[in-house]
Structure 1
């Protein structure tokens, strides 16, 4: 079992996430990162400070996705988008329902930094610019080049604040998958610190953060003051909850919580509205597909009414569940466990049961 999980971990990013040709070759030949806005059908426009964008409105509610580890994707010229069919998801545009509801839909990319053969080398770049591989990035020939002196957290924070400087809305939601959940937490902390310091518009503080099959590696890290990434993340989340940010988390695979590789981080999960998804439409060996399911299940769930807690009229957690209800679940003493709908991909038939955390 250990060998199987190790193999699957090495294959986190082995599934195709976007059709070839969605992005031009220059996106992979040269260093490219930061905020992109999306329209229907995986159309996109990179956010550039001070320039108008066809897919962005300053007063709209906003959802921004952050991907995780991207081993081998640059050579394949592959980036995650809202077409997840190649990752085991439905043959649908998963941005569609959000766009129809009036949302700005974006992705914060760091894929060339995340393209490492060892997951912890990519993880280090989120927190430190002087980790095992510093801030090197990979091009489409598979060659690494020296990168900037800022961390991924710093680079994406700058892209976020510069491109949303004039934001006047009141609803920003950040989604982070796998390693990307750490980026989402670090980014939210940097936003919060800047708001507190009076250097950033308070409207840029996210209202809600979704951690999708979140991954934290085991063991203390020299590049993080000999602390575990999961422990620092817990400290940040505790502080951010005090600033009014709502946290929800969804676990869909054993990869992120096996004792051999990942820190299950129960202390952090207990701080969130925590749901255990059971994607039993995949078999026991399809761990990578299960890991990716958290992303498309969450995005797709916005198309349907919130699931219920079995035998009640009370709502469980999903992308469509209201902020107030997610807050109640976050502050409760129980977790949600997939009870009905586990054998079908479409979230419309999901129900959950409550269990002790």
Structure 2
């Protein structure tokens, strides 16, 4: 690609939170041109009808989902669609010669039968699933380079896996003892209306949901098993909190041996050297969701309890950025061989 050329980008699912966040990031990316915004449900309307904040920034008419039309306008497609939609659409896009980064959960699990159990829809095409590269950038970034189809990780898995992987890989924690207490802002439920996300239901409230049944459980266990080299199962509980953005994943595990908080900080700092979006907190300080709001950072802190010989690991991300659109752009950069931070040099919004 010459310095004057830009990669033409289409976003399918432009009217969801992940899609509109992709638009925000791509409009300032130096190497991309957003050439098509697509919505099956709102085709033919202006995107500003649903998102007035884009007035005088992006006033495009939303296209429908037509693979031939997409191919005529784009080189790469982000699919930010509901579960089950990408499973049918992505094989068509790849067959048309397009590159794809999928933000849905449709191609994250390598065990095809798991989709029926956890996502409640048919398993995806076997060849397409086999081609998908799981794009957790800090762990699999080298595998992403040069590929044409990336499956973007989920929000809970991103926060949780970045928090657990270094200690598990080093053998410092007992994989059978892992317990994860995870909390998300309401935007994680998407823009569709539901009783659970209704203002009067969530305001001044804290709700547990999908206990032992969350669809991100097998995704987390798949990667931890890969890191461990043997099957890993975890206890994973999710909560909905009365805030717009943010995930806090608080993880507990028994320590193998004797390691201090300072030891964990040193281990993680070394593990994530050269990984620009993971920030390790100094001893005695722990991250908060507000401190990564609007950014692609994952902040991680630690507390070792010498009395119980357990470690508490706290990992926070913005679920819409690092947990979705930001990581998708990070995958784009790695896929194309560009600087990993392009379009993502965002200082967290505070307060």
The interval holding the TM-score normalised by the smaller chain is 0.3 to 0.5
Length-normalised TM-score, structure 1: 0.33
Instruction: Name the structure, 1 or 2, with higher relative contact order (CA <8 Å, separation 6+).
Output: 2
TM-score where L is the length of structure 2: 0.33
Q: Which has the larger radius of gyration?
A: 2
